[in-house]
Structure 1
Amino acid sequence: MTARVDVVFPCLDEAQALPWILDRLPDGHRAIVVDNGSTDGSAEVARRHGATVVHEPRRGFGSAAHAGLLAATAPVVAFCDADGSFDPEHLVLVSGPVLEGAADLVLGRRIPERGSWPVHARIANRALAGLIRLRTGLALRDLGPMRAADRLALLGLDLQDRRSGYPLEQVLRARADDWRIREVDVPYRPRVGRSKVTGTLRGTLTAVSDMSRLLAEQHDRAGAAR
């Protein structure tokens, strides 16, 4: 079956989670695992389970996510964490409206199960969502990492961030181009292994710093245009 959706999985040492994830992809969805310097054999595990593997030596979530976007060929591209915190069966919730032409960008709003989302990360996400609403007018409650959009349109956004700000830059540039942006609820599970971002205070602070910088730049551009 020809893939209608390429799913980009930025990956850094996720060998434990990958088999479960890759075995649960919905029909019509193809996995692109972007290995961002793993030392646990993640790339080999991904290949054994049928994924296309891309190697991106430049560290950073944005570097891995964008490398996956450049490697994609399907009409729609989705993004999903590779740590088991999302059930890939729910990808249809975010890719479906894009495939149907009902939305241009769909974000999965995380509905957390017990123990899946550390308090410090949840507080930081809530604060960032509030700033996004204030600065853009978008009624978003979460900057969800599970998302989907048209591949060619995403390439046209010319995204530049290669760190933790990449998901936010997608939203800000899509909003500036008047995309139809929707949010859908998706369950959020405890991840497999230890998180490199939300599971640590340092990782969370780095993500907040990257995203706050992008919001400030967007605010400055808007002010200069008035």
Structure 2
Amino acid sequence: MVRDGIAVIIPCYNEALTIGKVVDDFHRELPEATVYVYENNSTDGTAEIARGRGAVVRLEPRQGKGNVCRQMFRDIEADCYLMVDGDDTYPAESAWALCAPVLAGEADMVVGDRLSNGTYAKQNGRTFHGFGNDLVRAMIKWIYGYGFEDVMTGYRAMSRPFVKTFPVLSEGFQIETELSIHAVDRRWRIVNIPVEYRDRPNGSVSKLNTVRDGLKVIAMIGTLFKDYRPLKFFSLVALAFCIGGLCAGMPVVSEYLATGLVPRIPTAILAVAFMFIAALSLATGFILDAVAKVERKQWELQVYRQAENE
């Protein structure tokens, strides 16, 4: 299979209003790149417009951005993958700045940061989108110790080893969060580059549901926390049950020491149950942590094999 130097990959669903300009802009800024548009059951002629502008158009019938990205990563062979939305909110003028660190071997993921320069706050009128981004950033910072400038951006460049060893689990808009957490947990080299964000043009509608998709993103963070850092996750669960057990059990113990009686048998049983669950959670954390370390070693070997095939 022929490998591209740079592949511009664009997941699309009903972006007829903007996709033509997006394809033209990236052809202009990266004339040596191949532009791929993965059409996700659009009903407005997105595929025909993109094909007419010279993009390689493919259909992904499974609905959801995560499903589209999974298939793009499987299908496309390139040295650098530049992922961008088809809604014309990201500047093609920043394309080379994002790709250059990857092609120079200095980064494995370059994040197009919309937040640090303030353009996202100015252009995007949806308050809860900014709040959700800040919440996700804070959660990743607390769990993994890495502070992303912008977690939810749809504009990022990735290296071939990163893409080909990345297991996509999400189906929808959780994909950006999953990419970010994977990069941090697996210690890939990450570079943040500010980009100028602009809001969608009039008539273009966001497919993101703030509440529904926000809850899915938080659930994805919890799932990856459990999978990637099981000892920390289950230690927190054990601590919560231990506190509950102490709160329930200390009055019972105090009463027993004072009177020699245990009149509140149900409370005593509840306290013992909480402490048992705490011990069981901690043991689960240790076991799954050992499994996760083995899986991490196998993944590292997979990355080495991928590098050897370059």
**Normalised TM-score (structure 2):** 0.67
Contact 1:54 1:68 in 2 (8 A): no
Deviation at 1:156, TM superposition (A): 0.8
1:117 to partner: Cα distance? 4.7
Report how far residue 66 of structure 1 moved: 2.0
User: Residue 169 of structure 1 is aligned with which of 161, 178, 198?
Assistant: 178
Deviation (angstroms), 1:3: 4.2
- Classify the secondary structure of the residue corresponding to 1:216: helix
Corresponding position of 2:205? 194
How many Å apart are 1:104 and its aligned residue? 1.0
Comparing 103-112 and 40-49, the one that deviates more = 103-112
Q: Give the match for residue 150 of structure 2.
A: 142
Q: Which amino acid aligns with 2:131?
A: I
Is 1:156 the counterpart of 2:165? The answer is yes
Partner of 1:200: none
Alignment check: 8 A CA contact 2:123 2:197 kept: no
Q: CA deviation at 1:23?
A: 1.0
Shift of 1:152: 3.5
1:188 match: secondary structure: coil
Q: Give the structure 2 partner of residue 181 of structure 1.
A: 190
* Deviation sequence 1:136-156 (CA, Å, 0-9, x none): 111212112101111233121
Is 1:39 aligned with 2:48? Answer: no
Work out whether residues 76 and 99 of structure 1, in 8 Å CA contact, stay in contact via their aligned partners in 2: yes
Number of aligned positions between the proteins: 220
Q: What CA RMSD, in Å, does the superposition of the two structures yield over aligned residues?
A: 1.7
Of Structure 1 and Structure 2, the greater strand share is in 1
Q: Give ranges in structure 2 of 5+ residues lacking alignment.
A: 232-284, 291-310
Structure-1 separation of matches of 2:214 and 2:150 = 13
1:15 deviation in Å? 1.0
SS in structure 2 opposite 1:24?
helix
Farther-moved stretch of structure 1 (67-76 vs 127-136): 67-76
- After superposition, the C-alpha distances for 1:149-181 in whole angstroms (9 at most, x for unaligned) are 112331212222121211211222222221011
Q: Structure 1: which 5+ residue stretches go unaligned?
A: 198-202
Match among 96, 100, 103 for residue 99 of structure 1: 103
The aligned residue for residue 205 of structure 1 is 211
Q: Does 1:108 align with 2:77?
A: no
Work out whether residues 85 and 116 of structure 1, in 8 Å CA contact, stay in contact via their aligned partners in 2. no
Q: Larger % of helix: which?
A: 2
SS at match of 2:96: helix
Give the structure, 1 or 2, with the largest relative contact order (CA under 8 Å, sep 6 or more).
1
Shift of 1:71: 2.5
Shift of 1:47: 0.5
Sequence identity (%): 25
C-alpha distance in 2, partners of 1:117/1:82? Answer: 19
Displacement, 1:220? 2.3
Whose radius of gyration is greater, 1 or 2?
A: 2
In structure 2, the residue matched to 1:13 is: 14
